[in-house]
Structure 1
Amino acid sequence: MTYYVPRGGLPGQEELTTDRAVFTDAYVLIPRGTMRDIVTSQLPHWALTRAWVLARPLSGFAETFSQYVVEVSPGGGSDRPDDDAGAQAVLFVVDGTPTLTLEGTDHPLRVGSYAYLPAGARWSLRNESASTATFHWIRKTYVPVEGIETPEALVTHEEDVAPQAMPGTAAWATQRFVDPLDVRHDMHVNIVTFQPGGSIPFPETHVMEHGLYVLEGKGVYLLNTDWIEVQAGDFMWLRAFCPQACYAGGPGPFRYLLYKDVNRHARL
């Protein structure tokens, strides 16, 4: 597996400023060309680490999650990664071989590794290799429900999660890392794959908001009323009820990491 990984840098002065970045009331497109050195953030208690912050709750826009692309240099990491005890997280590795320590147990990770970390979990992450390690870090405040247990931690790999074809087609499949009927979970982070020419054949319009990072390939995505070309490394952020659909462009699969909030009453 080879996934797009931002490397930073800065375009030369001879390059055009115009790119595909869009911020609207319904969606945001952050193309890969915007992920440069000067827009990274430092994280508290993380050493030799920088992050591209792709999404965070914004009043009047999206509300439920934050998403980072985190690059950890050799020797870097954190023993105190997140001071928010109410935050659950998913980590998905796209480069390198970091080590996750979860409740005292080490888990060597590699490209395609996936970890669900429940709120309050004791975890740390270090990069003891000679090259950088990069992962997606998706955070959401867990919403407990009386009478329903909280979910347990999970460390797995995408190779161990079989794609499930969507009804009536072999061109569109989803790798679901947790059971969609398990109401203990209030967020899902899945991998969606379209074969060349595959599509979402209707404009999905629903209450879940999305973070959508293209892992590989290219396609044309419907965002509200706009059809936009996207490629590996692009990020889309869709607020609730934003119409969406897509066509996979080929020549290879079009795959993306998808966040959505699920399984809870709407807050009134």
Structure 2
Amino acid sequence: MTAPDYTYATIDPTLPPQTDSLGSAAIVTEAYTVIPHSVMRDIVASFLPEWTGTRAWILNRPIASGATTFAQLVLEVQPGGGSDAPEPQPEVEGFLFVLSGEFTLVLDGETHVLTAGGFAFVPPAATWSLHNTGAEAGQFHWFRKRHEFVAGLTPAAIVGNDHDLEPIPMAGTDGKWSTSRPIDPTDLAYDMHVTVVTFEPGAKIPFLETHVMEHGIYVLEGNAVYRLNDDWVELQPGDYFSLRAFCPQACYAGGPGRFRYLLYKDVNRQITL
């Protein structure tokens, strides 16, 4: 079987020249936020005390009038950099997705090498470390969510690679819209899913999805227009947007190539009142 020719957009932190105009800009509304790749520059990166040789772009944090269930970061780690104790909150679970480079993950005593497309679900209270053991800087997404504990339901660690997942076609789409799922959607131990969604040219979401799940969406490859509330937003590789609960949403992938994105959503829990 031939490995899929997937690509994974990374952040280019280089400042644009002084001759550039505001060709694209972030959008912040009460229903959604769009952070295009053009604004993810060197001067908006942060440093984290738990990490060495690392800088982070924080794409989402729980905030008033924003998505509240998760944090999402892109970390760039230099060769030899990383962390022996990445997660400062033991009640928080995580999901890692590698965009570039080579990382060695030690998770509850087991060692894994993650390259582009590699992923790992890290359960709450897990013991883990992550280091860049490659020759070049690497980037990865890190989703963090406070786990909603339910008696008798304990999520287990999951490690794999996007290239090894079989995309599951959406019903009635002739395979033009599919989802690659690292986490079994029927396993109620997990209260978050991170998936990769693929649209072939011309495919679309043919209705305005309106649901309680919040989203964090990062474009891995391709181009599309997304309907968010009453607006159509053009998207390209490296763009990011987050959606509040109940923000109406739809998508049209106009081509010329396929459109793929990394998707977070919160799932499988009763509403706390």
TM-score tier after normalising by the smaller chain length: over 0.9
SS at match of 1:38: helix
Residue aligning to 1:153: 157
1:56 maps to a residue whose letter is R
Q: Deviations over 1:11-40 (max 9, x none)?
A: 111111352310000000000000100000
Does structure 1 residue 254 correspond to structure 2 residue 259?
yes
1:25 maps to a residue whose letter is E
Query: Which residues of 2 match residues 97-246 of structure 1 at below 5 A?
Result: 97-146=102-151, 148-169=152-173, 170-246=175-251
**2-structure distance, mates of 1:244, 1:100:** 35
2:169–2:176 Cα contact (<8 Å) kept: yes
Residue aligning to 1:10: 15
SS at match of 1:6: coil
Q: Deviations over 1:174-211 (max 9, x none)?
A: 01111111111100000000000000000000000000
Does structure 1 residue 266 correspond to structure 2 residue 271?
yes
Q: Which runs of 5+ in 2 are unaligned?
A: 1-5
Does structure 1 residue 96 correspond to structure 2 residue 98?
no
1:127 maps to a residue whose letter is N
Give the share of equivalent positions with the same residue, in percent: 54
2:153–2:188 Cα contact (<8 Å) kept: no
2:148 maps to a residue whose letter is V
Q: Deviations over 1:220-262 (max 9, x none)?
A: 0001110111011000100000000000121111000000000
1:164 maps to a residue whose letter is I
Of 14, 31, 40, 2:45 maps to: 40
SS at match of 1:256: strand
**1-structure distance, mates of 2:134, 2:211:** 42
**1-structure distance, mates of 2:9, 2:65:** 31
**2-structure distance, mates of 1:105, 1:181:** 26
**1-structure distance, mates of 2:153, 2:188:** 9
TM-score (norm: length of structure 1): 0.98
**1-structure distance, mates of 2:161, 2:107:** 16
Residue aligning to 1:78: 83
Give the number of equivalent residue pairs.
267
2:181 maps to a residue whose letter is R
Residue aligning to 1:64: 69
**1-structure distance, mates of 2:70, 2:50:** 21
1:7 maps to a residue whose letter is D
TM-score (norm: length of structure 2): 0.96
**1-structure distance, mates of 2:113, 2:9:** 21
**2-structure distance, mates of 1:20, 1:174:** 29
Q: Deviations over 1:41-96 (max 9, x none)?
A: 10112001001100000023221000001100011000011111011000000101
Q: Cα RMSD between the aligned structures?
A: 0.9
**2-structure distance, mates of 1:17, 1:163:** 37
Q: Which runs of 5+ in 1 are unaligned?
A: none
Residue aligning to 1:21: 26
Q: Deviations over 1:155-183 (max 9, x none)?
A: 11112211100010121000111111111
1:30 maps to a residue whose letter is I
1:69 maps to a residue whose letter is V
